[in-house]
């Protein structure tokens, strides 16, 4: 509250601090529009204005059906209790 009072009394540093805290800018609307136009022109020139296309590399198609087979294989082999002693992974209790 003291900073607001100081700004109201003419303290420019207090006013600038409040303005910066609130995120206001010293640029005019015309300056902001010009900056947006320049940014768009640079992106266009660099080819960044085109959205990237999702290229289907066939990975998901290759996975179809294999997950069910993999889980079925695991169920046929049994769970961790059916593993041989050397095949079991180390657990937190083993440390």
Parse the chain into domains and list their residue ranges.
1-26
Q: Does the pTM of the predicted model rise above 0.75?
A: no
Q: What is the pLDDT of residue 12?
A: 92
Task: Please write the tens of the pLDDT for every residue from 27-84.
Answer: 788 888 899 999 988 888 887 656 667 788 888 887 777 777 777 777 776 655 555 5
- For residue 27, give every residue at least 6 positions away whose Cβ sits within 8 Å of its Cβ, in sequence order, or none: 35
Query: CA angle at residue 66 from 64 to 70, to 5 degrees?
Result: 150
Query: CA angle at residue 53 from 66 to 45, to 5 degrees?
Result: 155
Over residues 12-26, mean pLDDT: 85
Over residues 5-15, mean pLDDT: 90
Helix (H) or strand (E) holding 84: none
């Amino acid at each position: 509250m003291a900073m607001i009072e100081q700004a109201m009394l003419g303290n420019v540093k207090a006013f600038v601090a409040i303005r910066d805290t609130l995120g206001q800018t010293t640029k005019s609307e015309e300056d902001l529009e010009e900056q947006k136009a320049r940014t768009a022109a640079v992106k266009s020139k660099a080819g960044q204005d085109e959205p990237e296309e999702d290229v289907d590399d066939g990975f998901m198609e290759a996975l179809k059906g294999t997950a069910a087979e993999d889980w079925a294989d695991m169920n046929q082999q049994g769970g961790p209790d059916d593993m041989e002693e050397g095949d079991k992974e180390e657990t937190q209790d083993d440390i």
